[in-house]
């Protein structure tokens, strides 16, 4: 079972380590400068800690992530879980992975980008994703034993080269990182999408352990934590080292996004062959994440619809292909508001799962916490979308921690306390 734990932990690492995980640590490294370590600590909490907690929370349920939301109401559990799977699946997560893979592996090799090049890349990419996803029982071995070691070796080569060659002094932190480095990094961790992706990946991990002989809830929770620890150590090491070499890279602040930073770092370290190495890292990372998301989404929707797993795999892959060809900028523009809305709700649900014994599954506590959280997160999401609400903004600005993007935290606590008080009064 120790071998299985490492294999499944490597699989979980590969599933988590996708497009966002490559792009955002380098940006954080350059922007945080002398505030790098508190910034990366905040990033690790939302980028790794909360996703591992989410995977463990799924090990408490019998079927899927709907059960986390059923404590609010079965209809809420269904709708919220559908939104999660659509967001991390065909609407945003999978198309983003494919377009990032294209822009960081193929586009730098072309003298001139043509309209058909993205179409050709995504056609091959999604055909491969479909073929692997059609047989999910073999996914653990394919990803855990073969693709993850190649991915780790490629990342290690880039990181070691960066540590040897880059010795630029750390620059001054940008305004946000200078004032609140930890919380700025904390919010940046949202963009990896891993906390909500974990609600989907968790059931894959649980089912895999069940197939390998574990039956009791205690055994599954313990094994899931161990596999999560394996994935967490790998992710923390990669995030920290990639952020650090980006912070030490000469002229890192002249680039506009993490893709450009990584591309330049690879070129400075290995020359033209660095572009090829980076292409391998990006394509493998995006491919493994896409496979995991297609499998998870197909398995979920096959439970709540009359369509078979294979039909859903084909539909989700085709929808992802169509949206991916709209371009990365379009995908990001619409995904950020949705993530800002969904993330706080997911975090509160995960925390409440581990606190059930404290309030003995009182439904009012769940409803109060989620209602108050949803109001604030919906406002934040609409703000990201560009919707102006002057009156609401005056009141939202009064919330504690609203200036660092955590305005939902205090309402979540107040909502749960009100729910707890109401349940007490009802019982009396």
DSSP H helical ranges for 108-253: 115-133, 139-141, 148-165, 175-179, 181-188, 194-211, 217-248
| pLDDT exceeds cutoff 60 at 73 | yes
Over range 333-360, report the average pLDDT. Answer: 84
Q: For the chain, where do the domains classified as CATH 1.20.1740.10 start and end?
A: 2-334
- Place 113 in a pLDDT band, splitting at 50, 70 and 90: low
- List, for residues 250-281, the tens digit of each pLDDT value: 876 677 667 778 777 888 888 877 777 778 77
Q: CA dist 66 to 87, 93, 216, 312, Å?
A: 15, 20, 21, 19
| Mean pLDDT computed over every residue of the chain | 84
pLDDT score, position 374 = 94
pLDDT score, position 180 = 86
1-10, 300-309, 389-398: lowest mean pLDDT where? 1-10
What is the distance between the alpha carbons of residues 327 and 330, in angstroms, rounded to a whole number?
6
- Place 322 in a pLDDT band, splitting at 50, 70 and 90: very high
DSSP symbols for 271-309: THHHHHHHHHHHHHHHHHHHHHHHHHHHHHHHHHSSS-H
- Place 121 in a pLDDT band, splitting at 50, 70 and 90: very high
Over range 271-300, report the average pLDDT. Answer: 83
- List, for residues 208-266, the tens digit of each pLDDT value: 888 887 778 788 888 888 999 999 998 999 899 889 988 888 876 677 667 778 777 88
Which of 96-100, 170-174, 365-369, 419-423 ranks highest by mean pLDDT?
365-369
pLDDT score, position 253 = 66
Residues 6 or more apart whose CB falls under 8 angstroms from that of 257 comprise 23, 27
- Place 82 in a pLDDT band, splitting at 50, 70 and 90: very high
Q: What percent of the chain has pLDDT over 70?
A: 92
Is domain 2-334 in CATH 1.20.1740.10, yes or no?
Answer: yes
Q: What does pTM read for this prediction?
A: 0.81
- List, for residues 144-157, the tens digit of each pLDDT value: 566 667 777 777 88
- Place 304 in a pLDDT band, splitting at 50, 70 and 90: very high
Is residue 216 within 8 A of residue 228, CB to CB? The reply is no
Residue 401 zone, left/alpha/beta (φ > 0; ψ -120 to 50; rest):
left
């Amino acid at each position: 079972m120790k071998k299985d734990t490492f294999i499944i932990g490597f699989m979980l690492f590969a599933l988590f380590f996708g497009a966002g995980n490559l792009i955002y640590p380098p940006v954080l490294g350059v922007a945080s400068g002398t505030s790098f370590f508190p910034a990366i600590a905040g990033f690790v909490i939302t980028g790794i800690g909360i996703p591992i907690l989410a995977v463990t929370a799924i090990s408490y349920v019998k079927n899927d992530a709907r059960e986390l939301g059923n404590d609010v109401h079965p209809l809420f559990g269904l709708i919220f879980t559908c939104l999660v799977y659509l967001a991390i699946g065909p609407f945003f997560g999978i198309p983003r992975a494919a377009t990032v893979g294209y822009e960081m592996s193929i586009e730098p090799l072309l003298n001139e980008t043509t309209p058909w090049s993205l179409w050709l890349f995504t056609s091959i990419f999604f055909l491969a994703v479909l073929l692997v996803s059609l047989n999910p029982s073999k996914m653990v071995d394919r990803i855990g034993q073969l693709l993850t070691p190649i991915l780790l070796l490629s990342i290690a080569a880039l990181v070691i080269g960066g540590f040897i060659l880059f010795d630029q002094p750390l620059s001054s932190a940008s305004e946000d990182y200078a004032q609140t480095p930890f919380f700025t990094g904390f919010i940046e961790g949202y963009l990896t999408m891993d906390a909500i992706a974990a609600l989907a990946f968790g059931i894959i991990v649980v089912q895999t352990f069940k197939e390998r002989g574990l039956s009791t809830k205690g055994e599954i929770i313990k094994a899931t934590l161990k596999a999560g620890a394996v994935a967490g150590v790998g992710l923390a090491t990669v995030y920290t080292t990639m952020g650090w070499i980006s912070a030490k890279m000469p002229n890192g602040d002249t680039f506009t996004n993490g893709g450009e930073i990584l591309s330049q770092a690879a070129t400075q370290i290995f020359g033209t062959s660095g572009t090829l190495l980076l292409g391998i890292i990006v394509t493998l990372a995006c491919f493994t994440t896409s496979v995991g998301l297609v499998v998870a989404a197909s398995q979920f929707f096959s439970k709540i619809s009359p369509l078979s797993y294979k039909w859903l795999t084909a539909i989700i892959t085709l929808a992802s292909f169509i949206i991916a060809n709209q371009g990365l900028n379009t995908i990001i523009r619409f995904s950020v508001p949705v993530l800002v809305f969904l993330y706080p709700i997911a975090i509160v649900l995960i925390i409440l799962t581990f606190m059930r014994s404290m309030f003995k599954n009182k439904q009012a506590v769940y409803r109060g916490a989620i209602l108050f959280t949803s109001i604030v997160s919906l406002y934040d999401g609409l703000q990201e979308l560009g919707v102006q609400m002057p009156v609401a903004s005056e009141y939202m600005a009064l919330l504690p921690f609203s200036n660092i993007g955590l305005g939902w935290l205090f309402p979540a606590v107040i909502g749960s306390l009100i729910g707890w008080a109401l349940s007490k009064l009802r019982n009396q």
